[in-house]
Amino acid sequence: MLNSEVEELPMLTVRNFFRLNVSRCGKKIGGNLIFVGAFLLLLFVSGQSYAAGNHSEIGFGGGQGGVFDEERRVYVLAEYRSKYNWKGIAPIIALHTSGRESYITSGIFRDFEIKRQWFATPAFSVGLYFQEHGVTLGSNLEFKSSFAISYKADSGARFGARIAHVSNGGISEYNPGSEMLTLFFTLPVTE
């Protein structure tokens, strides 16, 4: 085999893990499948669900987009977590903006209590991405998979951290993806 024919394997890093693309029969299997599979597995695992207790929540936060990219940006977040759920799976809507780009999403989440008042929350959403002078993600339609750890106080206020991967899932030829790290808090909303 000639040196020009040898394909170099990418170094296994956190960034490459999130952006895993394996070609099989001309089809790409995106890194999002890892998160979607883990999320679906968690949704149907037996155990008590604590998603959306007896109140909805409105949340605010901020963080860094492009955590593993050369071009990083600070953004703010507003979200609404509904109390209405089906087997613990509840809807969520969110708006992220950095001033150079905006991303509005709608999706589902589920809370799992891992220790008294501590929660692990996988989520998956679909949204519209608009960039003026921001990062080009290859499509206006983007998918977001995320995982959060949070503490819920007796008052219902929640504080936490979330890592998310945003990608167009291969629906466009250009699909760089991007990661977001968020610190957030939510407050209960009485309806």
In CATH, what number is assigned to the domain containing residue 115?
2.40.160.20
What is the mean pLDDT of the segment spanning 28-50? 43
For the chain, the domain total comes to 1
Strand partners, 155: none
The domain of 131 spans 3-189
* Rounded Cα distance, 105 and 91, in Å: 11
Joined tokens for residue 13: 């890093």
Please name the helix (run of DSSP H) or strand (run of DSSP E) that holds residue 143, with its range, or none. strand 141-152
Q: According to the model, what pLDDT value does residue 174 have?
A: 87
Judged by average pLDDT, the poorest of 75-79, 124-128, 129-133 is 129-133
Asked whether the predicted pLDDT for residue 52 surpasses 70, the reply is: no
Question: pTM of the prediction?
Answer: 0.71
* Rounded Cα distance, 162 and 59, in Å: 13
* Rounded Cα distance, 20 and 28, in Å: 9
The answer to whether the beta carbons of residues 32 and 169 sit under 8 Å apart is yes
